[in-house]
Amino acid sequence: MKDLAPRFAVPLEVPRSRGARLLEAYSPKLERRVQFFDHRSFEQWLRLEADPRVIALCERPTRVGPKTNDRIVDFWVRRADTQELIVVQTTSSDTLPARVAGLPLHTVRLGDLAAASAWTNNWQRMLPVINVTRALIPSKLLGSMLDYVREPIALARVEHELAVGDPAIVRGAIFELLRTGRLLAPSLHVEALSVHTLLHPTT
């Protein structure tokens, strides 16, 4: 049986530089709080958190070399059959090894983050709703939503038809199904979330 224990589970303890931003959030995927010191790594975390193909991840898992002043790797990521390390580009002249700790090292370009800005902005709004409602969502409600969304349907219609009292719980259930890939909303890659956002079945 394949070992499912994460290669990296605890981020490196790194002091925050003077003047650096502190961005905190709760990760449903990790079931713990995460901290970031710049908006680029925070945006990349949002992309990984909202990607159902990502089974496990860890922020600041290691350094690219053995020295304490070597660059910190931003993420370790595990998908179904692959693992990789990720760094987010800081300057156009970054020179990094192809592999670190036996794993491929992938660089996320600033242009990649800019192109994904609509997606990350949407998930920055959606993840807090998931975190607040996740423990309150009945499993029956999730099943009812999957049965109901047989063709593209506006978010507002799903919320109206499956209202269970607290509208936040219904919306949280929708967002959780999107986060886990059981529903799709392709327009979130290019448009802001709204009541008109179309929800699609996966098949």
For 111-123, how does the pLDDT look when each residue is reduced to its tens digit (9 = 90+)? Answer: 999 999 999 999 9
pLDDT at position 164 is: 77
pLDDT at position 113 is: 96
Q: What is the DSSP letter of 17?
A: P
Class (C level, CATH) for 23-114: alpha beta
Q: State the pTM of this model.
A: 0.92
Give CATH 3.40.1350.10 domain extents, the chain. 23-114
Residue 125 CB coordination number (10 Å): 11
Provide the edge-to-edge strand list for the sheet that holds 99-100: 56-59, 75-78, 83-88, 103-108, 99-100
Weakly modelled stretches of the chain, pLDDT under 70: 1-5, 92-94
Q: How far apart are the first and last CA of the chain?
A: 30
Structure tokens at 191: 């448009």
| Inter-CA distances, 125 with 107, 172, 180, 185, Å | 26, 11, 16, 15
For 130-147, how does the pLDDT look when each residue is reduced to its tens digit (9 = 90+)? Answer: 999 999 999 999 999 999
Strand (E) or helix (H) holding 77: strand 75-78
